[in-house]
Structure 1
Amino acid sequence: MALADDPADGSGDTVGVEQHPGAGDQLELFPLEASETPAAPEPAADVVDAPTPTFADAAAQTLEDLRARLPLGTWLVSRVVEPHYTLLAVRSEVAVAGQTMRWDETLCRTMVGQGGARLVADVSAVPDYADRRMGRVFGVRGYTGVPLLGPGDQLLGTVCGLSRDPLDTDGFGVRSWLRVMEQHAGWLSGLLSAELAELPAQRTADHRVAQQRGDDLTGLADRRGWGFLLQREEQRAHAYAAPSGVLLLDLGATRSVGPVRRAAAAAASALAGRGSVVRLDGRQLGVLCTADDQRELRATADAVQSAVLASGCMFTSGWAVREPADGLPGAWRQAERRLMSVRRAPATA
């Protein structure tokens, strides 16, 4: 981040230019008092030295602290898994946790992806911000936001504040304020990265629990285990906006358990720990697929079907991605509808 330096003689008003690293172009101007010496931010350090909280608790604490320092009407912590932008923590009268919108419609997309300013006095005066649907939905005039970054600067989400009125930046300590925002964002980024890294081990443990309620002939989890797995993954979706989907494989009129075992082994191998295979009934397998992003999720479902075909098993299938409004139960219903549609297709052709 680059900011214009104060004049060496300390006279007159100065203008701070807030930019992203490498953004290059001047973006937004904020008058600063010439005598202002940016104070070191009150550390979220009091918090950092305390016992490590969960990401959810830290997000709530961050929003309370930021709202106390700058009382904007709306404060948000979001998770970004393209194409979705999901609100994980909210302090607002116009937004709720779990609400989603397209990432490319958000003000934060401009801040992150187009080198936009991290504090904008009036978004209606800055075309790249004024064009975003998020600003119109929430009636936003003032905006401040910073990204949450994981290992390798992977974008995990954002922290942002929204105001229905333009921000009065006269005498505003822009540099000090952004340091506070970035300090909180760094804290949240570390906690979120650590918790996301734990998800594969959690899923493995869940799979073992589900297998205890298993099908005796195949050793696979049964419908009770399937319900348990969907419930647990739905909890992760609410906590982290973790992508997931349901793939149903119908093996047709198989007369022995051999093809079921072979298909299940092929599917599990293709999943490579990114989900679970369950026997839903005599001839139908349910595959819960998980991934870090939507493209990987689709690729995983395709890999499972290719592996089952390569094992010599014929099947019909139905696939659905979890959508925030319907959850995994809705994805299961959608996959069943698609499977039934494929089954009926030859008879209606």
Structure 2
Amino acid sequence: MIDDFAAAAQATMAYLRHRLGFRLWMVTRTEGDDWIVLYADDAGYGITPGQSFRWTDTVCARMVLGHGPNIAPSTIDVPAYAQAPLGRHLPTGAYVGIPLRRGDGSLFGTLCGFDPQPQPPSIREELDTLTLLGSLLATILDRELDSGSEARLADRAGADDARDSLTGLVNRRGWDMFLQREEERCSRYGHSACVVSIDLDDLKFTNDTQGQGSGDALLMRAARALEQVTRGTDVIARLGGDEFAMLMVECDYFDAQAMLMRVQEALAAADVRASLGMAMRKPGYDLEEAFAMADAEMVRAKRSRKVLN
């Protein structure tokens, strides 16, 4: 029985290859201006899962906008498809594509097929079959994404043995665990995510001049400030000493920028001075690599603050 999105995607592509041929079948995700290949059944194009292209350059983008049909036996006869810039990378003589939409109607991605050669006009008769398969795939996807949100909340609630004893935030072990679990979701569904590295500027000075109790109070103010501006599915961690980290899930660049501003405002309101670095998880590098980039940006910010002071 096929009851998960990955297996359903693979089975759907295998069935369509058997029924229609075509050299390339894909299940894709649109995320911002990225068109991300989640699953591929490829016989000659050299496409692998995880690759991304510019969404606006694709035939699928034009199909979703209604600039061409779901089934084009000869793309040269459809000007919008023939002129798609990605055609230089994916030679397209024939094309089929169906949008994959969430239950709320928002676009998730596409189920699509490409062949370098034009195909018989009779393939237009397969539209009902293609539409049905896309609808079934989207239903499985929507169910999994909803259960994934519930799983995140359950993970957060069940992390009592991976918490920092002072602040109650996730500790280093918990952070590594959540980062790994979210990376699995990102790889599976093409989610974007944002990671933030935070280093308090005054903890050592506060401990040295006012005592550890004041230092602990500073850490607590920082923790509560971060909790005020995050969602229940996000992760806040105290990695040790004066180091904090944040993981914001299903968060695009613009959402991340807005969140970072709220973080800065919340810390300032709590009288906490800190250096921050942010990076996005994108196709091509994972969450651990993104966090390393955020950490490097935080270090640069801290050095810059020292020079200014």
TM-score past 0.5 threshold:
yes
1:181 and 2:135 matched: no
1:58 aligns with: 8
Could you tell me whether the CA contact under 8 Å between 1:210 and 1:228 is conserved in 2?
A: no
Q: CA deviation at 1:326?
A: 1.2
Gap runs ≥5 in structure 1? 1-50
Higher relative contact order (Cα pairs below 8 Å, separated by 6+ residues): 2
Within-5 A mapping of 1:49-198: 53-93=3-43, 94-169=46-121, 172-174=122-124, 176-198=125-147
Alignment partner of 1:275 out of 193, 210, 234: 234
> Which AA in structure 2 matches 1:168?
P
Distance in structure 2 (CA, Å) of the matches to 1:295 and 1:82: 10
1:23 aligns with: none
The superposition leaves residues 42-72 of structure 1 with CA deviations (integer Å, 9 ceiling, x where unpaired) of: xxxxxxxxx5610111111111111111000
The superposition leaves residues 47-105 of structure 1 with CA deviations (integer Å, 9 ceiling, x where unpaired) of: xxxx5610111111111111111000000111112122111111003211121112112
CA RMSD of aligned residues (A): 1.8
Distance in structure 2 (CA, Å) of the matches to 1:103 and 1:294: 16
Give secondary structure in 1 for the equivalent of 2:117: coil
1:222 and 2:171 matched: yes
> Which AA in structure 2 matches 1:236?
R
Name the larger-Rg structure.
Answer: 1
The superposition leaves residues 12-65 of structure 1 with CA deviations (integer Å, 9 ceiling, x where unpaired) of: xxxxxxxxxxxxxxxxxxxxxxxxxxxxxxxxxxxxxxx561011111111111
Could you tell me whether the CA contact under 8 Å between 1:200 and 1:273 is conserved in 2?
A: no
Flag the 1:140–1:183 CA change in 2: closer, same or farther, 3 A: same
Q: CA deviation at 1:181?
A: 0.5
Q: TM-score under structure 1 normalisation?
A: 0.80
Larger helix proportion of the pair: 2
Q: CA deviation at 1:252?
A: 1.3
Could you tell me whether the CA contact under 8 Å between 2:36 and 2:50 is conserved in 1?
A: yes
Distance in structure 2 (CA, Å) of the matches to 1:201 and 1:234: 16
Could you tell me whether the CA contact under 8 Å between 1:81 and 1:294 is conserved in 2?
A: no
Flag the 1:76–1:308 CA change in 2: closer, same or farther, 3 A: same
1:324 aligns with: 283
1:339 aligns with: 298
Aligned residues: 296
The superposition leaves residues 93-150 of structure 1 with CA deviations (integer Å, 9 ceiling, x where unpaired) of: 3211121112112110010024321112232443321232322112222111010111
1:258 and 2:210 matched: no
Distance in structure 2 (CA, Å) of the matches to 1:235 and 1:247: 19
Identity of aligned residues (%): 30
Distance in structure 2 (CA, Å) of the matches to 1:201 and 1:302: 27
Q: TM-score under structure 2 normalisation?
A: 0.90
Distance in structure 2 (CA, Å) of the matches to 1:298 and 1:113: 28
Distance in structure 1 (CA, Å) of the matches to 2:141 and 2:252: 16
Distance in structure 2 (CA, Å) of the matches to 1:173 and 1:130: 19
